[in-house]
Structure 1
């Protein structure tokens, strides 16, 4: 549970964060958090992003990268400084903040007409070859009411033999990536949520992808048992495309709530990493945001206590500990 001393600090937040605190940590009645959620479209972060939308429905003039982006710029390629201002990243953010789709009425049609992927000039709602991009397109399309009907089957067709996905499959990768697998799973979970279970093959693909991560305890190599990388317990908000055990654990929390299933005990060690990162005052510290151009900052600098990470960390532990207390 969130310590009493943190409640005023968490409440003093942008509506995009506050409504989730009210619903998930404070368990306020729906009329309270729904009223706060409705303010995302008219106040603070959400309203600022909405005001930056181009007349053609895009943001920054591009699908995944801003218009005119220089892919050969060494300042970008050397530092992996992906810009976060283009259409897909902005839609991801607004969706994750709980913006009601009605605030973007007409956007799905505008993007179908005006937006093309930088890869092969493909139409926006058809997706492209990248697993993560297709997952976000699926989620955003379901949210906005676009036709993304081909994408669930795409994940079935492109699942790797080990059960996960890798965005580098087009370059010949045959082993799954933690990052790609988690992002793909989020898209498939959104599909199952929107369709009440979806198709059996799609549901089986999601189960197989979850098993890929669970067999590895969410952070270990299957071959050696060693942590897959030092970034597994590096917690930074916004998550973007980046994997961490906190990001993964929050996915499994949402999947558990949708499926009506308890937490998988194979997550225990990963949950321990989340718990170990909590400071004595009950907060989690920002590890440092991914580099790259943003419209504006939505969280604190590295080293400071993050309200966003405290929301994610607290609700993951609440979910886990509640089931642990109820277990026989």
Structure 2
């Protein structure tokens, strides 16, 4: 399909990457994963292809744990694991992630804790050690933007 869901795409991409890591690369799996990555990259990770708009404002707000939700931190972290180097089409998403830093940490903008059996000790709006780790890894991979 040429149309799809960013939420679904990132879930499938993470699964395909883990499959490749577990059992080794297979041409069909790698090809499918690369098509999914290209789908997101064509859209600069956050825009609708048809009109260039950001269809979901929550994609720009970072949360943890994501579950099935898509956001810039999650997709950039996935691409960090999947690719040896960043692509120029990631620039806006990288800038968005970098701009969220407050006092060297990244805030939890969306808490999906209600689905967890344990308390992560973080609240919406407060600093998140999980998002800070994710953001620092991504930005280091991207060349410390």
TM class by shorter chain equals over 0.9
Higher RCO (CA < 8 A, seq sep 6+)? 2
CA separation in 2, counterparts of 1:249 and 1:196? 23
Alignment of 1:271 with 2:94, yes or no, is yes
TM-score, normalising length from structure 2? 0.93
Partner of 2:63: 236
Q: Which runs of 5+ in 1 are unaligned?
A: 1-160, 163-174
Q: Is 2:42–2:89's contact at 8 Å kept on the other side of the alignment?
A: yes
| Residue among 110, 119, 122 paired with 1:300 | 122
Identify the residue that residue 224 of structure 1 maps to in structure 2. 51
Contact 2:9–2:36 at 8 Å: present in 1 too?
yes
Distance apart, 1:295 and its partner CA? 1.3
Superposition deviation, residue 238 in structure 1 = 1.1
Alignment pair present for 1:250 and 2:72: no
Structure 2 counterpart of 1:186: 14
CA–CA separation in structure 1 for the residues paired with 2:51 and 2:116: 38
Distance, in Å, in 2 between the alignment partners of 1:252 and 1:288 is 21
Deviations 1:26-67 (A, max 9, x none): xxxxxxxxxxxxxxxxxxxxxxxxxxxxxxxxxxxxxxxxxx
Is the 1:249–1:271 Cα contact (8 Å) retained in structure 2?
A: yes
- RMSD between aligned alpha carbons? 1.5
Checking the alignment, whether the CA contact within 8 Å between 2:62 and 2:131 is kept in structure 1 is: yes
Mapped partners of 2:136, 2:13: distance in 1: 22
The size of the alignment, in residue pairs, is 145
4+ residue stretches of structure 1 with deviation over 6 A? none
| Deviation (angstroms), 1:241 | 1.1
Distance, in Å, in 1 between the alignment partners of 2:9 and 2:21 is 18
Inter-partner Cα distance in structure 2 for 1:235 and 1:222: 22
1:241–1:293: structure 2 CA closer, same or farther, 3 Å change rule?
Answer: closer
- Partners in 1 of 2:79 and 2:115 — Cα distance? 30
More strand by share: 2
- Would you say the 8 A contact 2:85–2:141 is kept in 1? no
CA distance in structure 1 between the partners assigned to 2:121 and 2:50 by the alignment:
37
Q: Distance in 2 between matches of 1:217 and 1:299?
A: 33
How many Å separate the matches in 1 of 2:121 and 2:13?
A: 26
Deviation at 1:247, TM superposition (A): 0.3
Q: Secondary structure at the match of 1:218?
A: coil
1:222 to partner: Cα distance: 0.2
Distance 2:64 2:91 in 1: 23
TM-score computed with the length of structure 1 as normaliser: 0.43
